[in-house]
Amino acid sequence: MKRFLSVLLMLSLLMGVTSFSVRAQDYRDLPPRLLVWQDTLFGLIDGSGKTVLPCEYERLLAYDDEPYAEGYIMAKRNGLWSILDWNGQPIHPYRYEARPTPIYNSGGLFVICEDDKPGGVVNSKGDTVVPFRYLNLSEFGTTSPSSLLIYSVEKTPNSAEASSNRAKRKQMLRGLLDLNGREVLAPVYKNLFCGCDNAIIVTDTNDHEGVMDFKGVWIRPISPLYTYDNYYGDFVSIKERRTRLKGLMSADGSIVLPIEYQEVCLYPIKGLVEVKDRSGLWGLMDTHFRVLIPHRYTELNALGELGDSYYFYGVMRDGRVEIIDTAGRVVAMDTTIHFDNDNLPYLYPLVYVDGAWRLVDPMGKLLPQRYSEASNYWSSTLMSVATDSLHHGIVDLWGNVVVPLRYVEADADGDDVILARRPSGKVEVLNGKGRKLLSCWGAHREGNVLYVANKKGMWAIADSRTGKRLSRYYFIWEGVNSSSAETCWAVYDTNHRLGYVNARGREILPCSLDEKRAAAVSEGQIYGYIYHDCSCGELIYPFKLPNGRYNNPKGGC
């Protein structure tokens, strides 16, 4: 008997560990959930096409970016909402008129608040955690270690205010609660928003501003002297109202950059601060506020990335231009910065000298080759160059020819994919070393996905490393906003009927769903268009249809 009880206890512990592992599972590892419908009702299938929920629901929200990253499904049936787990099993009965919204990273808490009705918070057991008495209740401060809730109360005007036209407009005052419903900030503020990862910028009814921490302790009390701006990370921008000069303060309220600059711009990823002094000249600092580039430019802009470093171009008072690295070294000077049709500067190491484009190699040497056109929008190692309109190709940083100059258009999409169009309109896809992978009649890359078109203007996906086509051709492709790491697409046939395809190109569901019907009965769909758009230099090639006209992909130029 004792042995039996020991085994039973061990099994219980194992089951508990297993259950905890499932609950703690990263949402990105969850299998995909795809929306399907029949007439006016919705259901869900998984990535293999198996039914998760039958088509019996008026609304289904399985995911929508971060708020739905907890592995829950919101379901509406007979006019009421419920919360389901990822396998479609109800956690709550159908009893909510307002749609539940999971609080990100809260361990199973849900805000239930919609329109002007009082809202509250429930947990995954259905218990009320925050009473249903707060207007416009929603999550606040998701970047902080402990999330907060923002809510509103309607201001009650006094007799003097009621007589003025301004006070007749509804005014809502905002406060903050913690996740247990305890008041952090009383509802007396006109506006609240995160100033940085550890601070809240508050605005009172007189439009005066101050800064608090996430416990409601003042960092800088409300004052008519200063205003603050939102900088995610370790800093808050502070501006003096009288002089309109700016500086930076840390989350503890100390001034780390004096309030003496006309403009302050952060590049938080690279740890750089671009500042404009009182005389109107720009300079560059690091986030320890050591001067990297002194104030000597009337204009200072980042050119983009080359390898692991930013380069900037600075315009001197006399109109001369210098190319500067982030250490403040001038790597090229007296160059003429040219802009394309989208008003974007061509990136260093391309310079325009004596009526032609030249390359500056990584050692700073000006190469002898001369080109009528040159750009390197999407690659740090490959340049698109041309000698005339019929001779485009690709060279590397050292000027070596990677793709011969025999195409009417050529461009590198990253360092590993090159797209080049022949005079016939046919497109060749090559790898970063110039080896041909495939031919098609249109090509476009979105992230790691390569789209290729046939003569009929339909699209398929292909492996960008080998050139192997992975799927059938479809009229339109749309990316599905799934919480899963597994990529899925909604695809359309020529009759605008929708189906689903997985990342391997295999059909999950044939094109059988009436997309127009879904748009009519659903407030919002769970997928979004991958637009084939060639604005800002993104490379899209039109293809010629049998009637002799050129067709561009949806959204193309």
Q: In what order do the strands lie in the sheet with 442-446?
A: 442-446, 449-453, 459-462
DSSP 8-state secondary structure symbol assigned to residue 390: T
Question: By three-state DSSP, how is residue 271 classified?
Answer: coil
pLDDT bucket at 161, cuts 50 / 70 / 90: low
Question: By three-state DSSP, how is residue 142 classified?
Answer: coil
pLDDT bucket at 225, cuts 50 / 70 / 90: very high
pTM passes above 0.85: no
- pLDDT on residue 471: 95
What does pLDDT average to over the chain?
79
- Residue range 69-80: average pLDDT? 83
- pLDDT on residue 307: 46
Q: Return the closest-CA partner of residue 412 out of 430, 398, 425, 426.
A: 430
- pLDDT on residue 414: 85
Residue with tokens 């905002």: 174
Q: Is the pLDDT of residue 258 over 50?
A: yes
Strands (E), 232-355: 235-240, 246-250, 255-261, 263-267, 272-276, 282-286, 291-297, 299-306, 309-315, 321-325, 330-333, 350-353
Q: Is the pLDDT of residue 65 over 80?
A: no
- Residue range 475-484: average pLDDT? 72
- pLDDT on residue 246: 96
Q: How many residues does the chain have?
A: 557
What region, left, alpha or beta, does residue 18 occupy, with left being phi > 0 and alpha being psi -120 to 50 degrees? alpha
Tens of pLDDT, residue by residue over 268-278, are 667 889 999 99
- pLDDT on residue 538: 36
Contacts of 428 (CB under 8 A, 6+ apart): 407, 419, 420, 421, 422, 436, 438, 439
- Residue range 503-528: average pLDDT? 72
Looking from the CA of 497 toward its CB, the CA atoms found within 13 Å total 8
Contacts of 251 (CB under 8 A, 6+ apart): 196, 197, 198, 199, 213, 219, 234, 235, 236
pLDDT bucket at 233, cuts 50 / 70 / 90: confident
Q: In what order do the strands lie in the sheet with 51-57?
A: 34-38, 41-45, 51-57
- pLDDT on residue 480: 74
Measured CA to CA in angstroms, residue 53 lies from 60, 112, 241 at distances of: 10, 23, 57
- Residue range 75-94: average pLDDT? 89
The answer to whether 138 and 148 have CB atoms below 8 angstroms apart is no
Tokens of 220: 């800088």
pLDDT bucket at 363, cuts 50 / 70 / 90: confident
- Residue range 331-343: average pLDDT? 63
Q: In what order do the strands lie in the sheet with 497-502?
A: 507-514, 497-502, 488-492, 476-480, 527-529
- Residue range 455-470: average pLDDT? 90
Query: Which residues partner with 382 through β-bridges?
Result: 396
Tokens of 322: 């210098």
Q: Say what the alpha-carbon torsion angle 501, 505, 510, 514 is, to the nearest 10 degrees.
A: 40
Q: Is the pLDDT of residue 79 over 70?
A: yes
Measured CA to CA in angstroms, residue 251 lies from 7, 240, 288 at distances of: 54, 18, 15
Instruction: Pick the range with the lowest mean pLDDT from 20-29, 73-82, 326-335, 514-523.
Output: 20-29
Q: Is the pLDDT of residue 537 over 90?
A: no
Helix (H) or strand (E) holding 183: strand 183-189
Q: In this structure, what are the phi and psi dihedrals at residue 483, rounded to the nearest 5 degrees?
A: -70, -10
The answer to whether 470 and 460 have CB atoms below 8 angstroms apart is yes
- pLDDT on residue 553: 39
In this structure, the number of other CB atoms found within 10 A of the CB of residue 295 comes to 17
Measured CA to CA in angstroms, residue 121 lies from 73, 129, 143, 192, 331 at distances of: 17, 5, 20, 20, 58
- Residue range 275-284: average pLDDT? 95
Q: Is the pLDDT of residue 26 over 70?
A: no
Q: Is the pLDDT of residue 66 over 60?
A: no
Contacts of 226 (CB under 8 A, 6+ apart): 209, 220, 238, 239, 240, 241
- Residue range 452-478: average pLDDT? 89
